[in-house]
Structure formats: structure tokens, C-alpha cells
Structure 1
Amino acid sequence: MFQGLNVFKAAHAMATHAGQRQTLVAQNIANADTPGYKAQDIRPFAEVFDGDAASGMRARRVGHLNAPDSAGNLPTFQSESPTDPNGNSVSVELELMKGVEIKREHDRAIAIYKSSLSVLRTSLGRV
């Protein structure tokens, strides 16, 4: 009955996106001294969500349209930031700022989930 509530799906998607983006930021920081390494990132969730809503088409399963693969990986892009003399484009300061932004996105997703769960419980008469 309550399996198709979009607010829970959106909160899950936000949290999953934040986790995937945090993984890339951690990889960037880990490779900050690797010669030739290019910093990677994925588009922010708002851009991904707006892009899906504007087209009117959504991937409903793996392999449908341009759906992420079975691991749930989103397409990455390489940062266009200036490179060091060794060809590395990672700026640790920028990556740390991205990490803070991502934490806020994840906290927002959890807050949405908890608030929606609270509303659902209240509507069922449970507190």
C-alpha cells in the first residue's frame, strides 16, 4: 500500500547520490599527489533531478534509456580545474568544500526521510 510513496524514493535517491559523490571526492583526495590524475565528480542531485523532470522521461529499470548500470553508478566527468606541473588537477581545498556540501545534502535527505516517516506514523495514529 505505501510502497510507492515518491517522497521516500526521492529521499533514498538523494542519499544514494550523496554517497556516490562522496566516494569520488574521497578518491580525488586520495590521488591528490598522483601524477596525471584528473579530479572526477558527478553532477549535483538538483541538476540530475531537474534534467529528468524536464525531459518527462525517467529510467524505470537498469538498461532502460540511459539508466545507471547495475552498480548504480552515475556518469562522471573530469574537473576542468587548472592542473599542477605534474598534470594533477586535484585541489584538496576544493575537494574538502565539496565534502561539506555533500554532507549537507546527505543530512537533508535523512531529514526528509525522517520527517516523512513521522508524518506517516502520525497519520496512522502512532507516535
Structure 2
Amino acid sequence: MDPIHLFDLAAKQARWLSRSQATIAGNVSNANTPGYHAQTVQPFAEVLDQTQLGLLSTNVNHLNLTPAEQQAVAVKDQDPWETTDSGNTVSLENELIKAGDVQHDFAMNTNIVKAFHNMLMQSVKT
């Protein structure tokens, strides 16, 4: 049986979401650290843009393309909403919004994988 790329893609997104959640947690834990600059991860859409999916050649007349290596998720300083007198650029409101978005994306990722798994199980049973 050929590999199912949807599960691989969902796993990559889950790893990206984990890294994003860890970065948000680091920002929140350093909210009172003087001179700390808030960090953010590269958006998942950009990670996908850097990844080329390979095509499966089922006929000798098809083009044979090889997939590119997955780029690492880059962590960079984010543009500050505000900077305190101590030089800290963490905005707790911004971090809480991002944490909510990550939670929503985790739930959506899980639901898609569950639905696809159920669809596969139904196709195997029939």
C-alpha cells in the first residue's frame, strides 16, 4: 500500500504547532524580563511553500520529480506591539490570542485526521 501523505502533512503541522506553542509559552514566561524580545515562528503556510511535494510516477512517460528537504521551522523576533520602559516587547494580549489560535488549529488538525482515519476504515471494511 502506498504511503498516505495526509497523515504526514498532519504530523508536520502538529510539530509546527508544538513549536509555536513552546515559543508562545517562552514569551509569556519572559513577560517581565527586562530587555527580552518576543519571538514568533515562521507561519505554517510559509513552511508549506518551502516544501515541494513529489509526484508519483505511475507510467514511464510521466516526469520523475524528487521532493525537496523539509525546511526547519525558523524562530525569529516578532514585531513588537509595544515596548515597555525595560525594553521588553512581550504583549500578553497578543500571546493569548496566538495561544487560542494554536489551540484551535490543534483541534482542527485532530478532527481532520480522525475523519480521514474513519473514511479509510470504512473503505477497508467494504
Length-normalised TM-score, structure 2: 0.81
- Shift, 1:105, TM fit: 1.1
Give the Cα separation in 2 of the matches to 1:58 and 1:109.
24
Q: Does 1:23 align with 2:19?
A: no
Q: How does 1:1-127 map to 2 (within 5 A)?
A: 1-2=1-2, 4-53=3-52, 58-59=68-69, 67-68=71-72, 74-81=73-80, 82-125=82-125
Identify unmatched segments of 5+ residues in structure 1.
Answer: 61-66, 69-73
Give the Cα separation in 1 of the matches to 2:24 and 2:43.
13
Identify unmatched segments of 5+ residues in structure 2.
Answer: 54-65
Larger RCO, structure (CA 8 Å, separation 6 or more): 1
- Shift, 1:57, TM fit: 5.5
- Shift, 1:44, TM fit: 2.0
Q: Percent identity?
A: 30
3-state SS, counterpart of residue 24 of structure 1: helix
Cα deviations by residue, 1:33-89 (Å, 9 ceiling, x for unpaired): 0001111111221222134349x95216xxxxxx43xxxxx2111012131110100
Cα deviations by residue, 1:6-49 (Å, 9 ceiling, x for unpaired): 00001111111111100000010000000011111112212221
Larger radius of gyration: 2
RMSD over aligned CA atoms reads 2.0
**1:63 equivalent in structure 2:** none
